[in-house]
């Protein structure tokens, strides 16, 4: 069931206040520094807090939270981290003394306020972020008795899990993501399902489906390293012929049900480069491309990545 946990406006204010006060504090410190610079006496200035910014400002379930961390202590060699719930996410350097961690949100989570705990330079900062609710479409599937479909092989599950767990420090993507196929989108991200009247609480559509014709081109939406190539003949019964691109810094793309594969593991591909063609291999009822975008192992909505640059 989708839990209707409407966002309270007070939570939003809390976040705004936090971000604004941070900027104000920063300005005040800079003004103080200016004053102290002209004074003959040295004062012990308070240690600068970690400067943290979270975007987007009004995230909703399925969005990727980008947590930017600026620090003033260039001597420290350990990267900051961001903890949310039971997970800790690495922050990678994106500019000198500037770090960024990407936090996935999914339809399986509750909307509402969550706390991000930012650790770095021996300091800890807690930020309240309000994630808004979102209604995801619901499908009702009727399966004849004893027809549960094919299961994935152990090899397939192991390879795909290892691929989605990648957290490569390098960043390979640049700018907005391209659409990987020219077909229309036939199934959006986050669709929930009932099977024979029972709500599948762990299921959501983990990506976008493109209704491209059989044999039509599948291109890399962004640059990266080919970190997964799997074939039906190797036991990829559910994914079918599959390609996985590691875009770096915990961001990965998977392309399923391909008819042909044009790349091999270890290849570097550029945005727009042909990686394969649309097919109906694996657990698929007709030709289409399934594109899944994963951030630190969780499937996020690729749509915001198509329109807004995550630096």
Separation between Cα atoms, residue 171 and residue 187, nearest integer Å:
29
Tell me the three state secondary structure of residue 51: strand
Supply the minimum distance, in Å, between the C-beta of residue 287 and Zn ion.
12
Least separation in angstroms between residue 241's CB and Zn ion is 15
For Zn ion, the closer CB: 209 or 301: 209
Number of shown-chain residues binding Zn ion (CB under 5 A): 2
* Least spacing, CB of residue 145 vs Zn ion, in Å: 25
- Nearer to Zn ion among residue 156 and residue 209 (C-beta): 209
Q: Which stretch binds Zn ion (CB under 5 A): 79-87, 121-129, 207-215, 267-275?
A: 207-215
d(CA 32, CA 300) in angstroms, rounded, equals 42
301 counts as binding Zn ion under rule CB under 5 A: no
Edge-first strand listing for the sheet containing 192-195 = 138-141, 192-195, 198-199
Farthest CA pair distance, the chain: 85
Q: Tell me how far apart the alpha carbons of residues 228 and 236 are, in angstroms, rounded to a whole number.
A: 12
User: In angstroms, rounded to a whole number, what is the distance separating the alpha carbons of residues 132 and 28?
Assistant: 32
Question: Structure tokens of 40?
Answer: 């003959």
Q: Which helix (H) or strand (E) holds 158?
A: helix 154-164
In the bound complex, what is the minimum distance in angstroms from residue 71's beta carbon to Zn ion?
40
Nearer of residues 171 and 290 to Zn ion, judged by Cβ:
290
Instruction: Write down the least CB distance from residue 181 to Zn ion, Å.
Output: 12
CA distances from 94 to 78, 87, 97, 109, 116 (A): 14, 22, 8, 28, 20
**Residue number with the shortest CB distance to Zn ion?**
290
Binders of Zn ion in range 133-162 (CB under 5 A): none
Residue with smaller CB distance to Zn ion, 131 or 293:
293
Scanning 19-27, 195-203, 242-250, 284-292 for contacts with Zn ion by CB under 5 A, the matching segment is 284-292
Q: Which of 63, 156, 209, 246 binds Zn ion (CB under 5 A)?
A: 209
CA distance 118 to 171: 21
Question: Least distance to Zn ion from the beta carbon of 205, Å?
Answer: 6
Window contacting Zn ion (CB under 5 A); options: 118-126, 129-137, 143-151, 289-297: 289-297
Name which of 159 and 239 has its Cβ closer to Zn ion: 239
| Contact yes or no for 179/210 (Cβ under 8 A) | yes
Smallest distance from the beta carbon of 1 to Zn ion, in angstroms? 22
Q: Using the rule CB under 5 A, which residue among 290, 294, 301, 310 binds Zn ion?
A: 290
The string over 73-102, giving b where at least 16 C-beta atoms fall within 10 Å of a residue's C-beta and e elsewhere, is: eeeeeeebbbbbeeeebbbbeeeeeebbbb
Closest distance between Zn ion and the C-beta of residue 213, in Å?
A: 17
177 in Cβ contact with 308 (< 8 Å)? no
The window from 67-75, 204-212, 246-254, 264-272 that contacts Zn ion (CB under 5 A) reads: 204-212
Residues that bind Zn ion (CB under 5 A): 209, 290
């Amino acid at each position: 069931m989708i839990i209707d946990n409407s966002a309270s406006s007070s939570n939003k204010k809390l976040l705004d206040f936090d971000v604004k006060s941070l900027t104000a504090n920063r300005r005040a410190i800079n003004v103080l520094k200016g004053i102290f610079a002209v004074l003959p006496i040295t004062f012990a200035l308070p240690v600068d807090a970690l400067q943290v910014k979270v975007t987007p400002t009004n995230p909703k379930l399925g969005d990727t939270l980008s947590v930017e961390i600026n620090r003033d202590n260039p001597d420290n060699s350990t990267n900051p981290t961001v903890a949310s719930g039971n997970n800790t996410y690495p922050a990678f350097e994106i500019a000198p003394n500037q770090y960024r961690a990407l936090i996935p949100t999914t339809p399986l989570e509750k909307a509402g306020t969550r706390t991000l705990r930012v650790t770095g330079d021996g300091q800890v900062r807690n930020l309240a972020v309000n994630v808004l609710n979102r209604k995801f479409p619901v499908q009702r599937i009727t399966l004849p008795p004893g027809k549960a479909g094919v299961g994935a092989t152990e090899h397939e599950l192991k390879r795909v899990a290892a691929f989605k767990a990648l957290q490569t420090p390098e960043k390979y993507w640049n700018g907005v993501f391209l659409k990987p196929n020219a077909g229309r989108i036939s199934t959006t991200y986050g669709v929930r399902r009932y099977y024979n009247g029972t709500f599948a609480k762990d299921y959501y559509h983990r990506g976008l489906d493109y209704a491209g014709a059989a044999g039509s081109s599948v291109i890399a939406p962004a640059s990266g390293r080919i970190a997964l190539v799997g074939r039906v003949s190797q036991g990829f019964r559910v994914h079918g012929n599959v390609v996985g691109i590691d875009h770096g810094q915990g961001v990965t793309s998977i392309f399923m049900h391909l008819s042909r594969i044009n790349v091999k593991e270890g290849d570097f591909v550029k945005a727009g480069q042909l990686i394969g063609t649309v097919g109906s291999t694996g657990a698929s009822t007709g030709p289409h491309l399934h594109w899944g975008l994963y951030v630190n192992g969780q499937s996020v909505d690729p749509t915001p990545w198509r329109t807004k640059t995550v630096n």
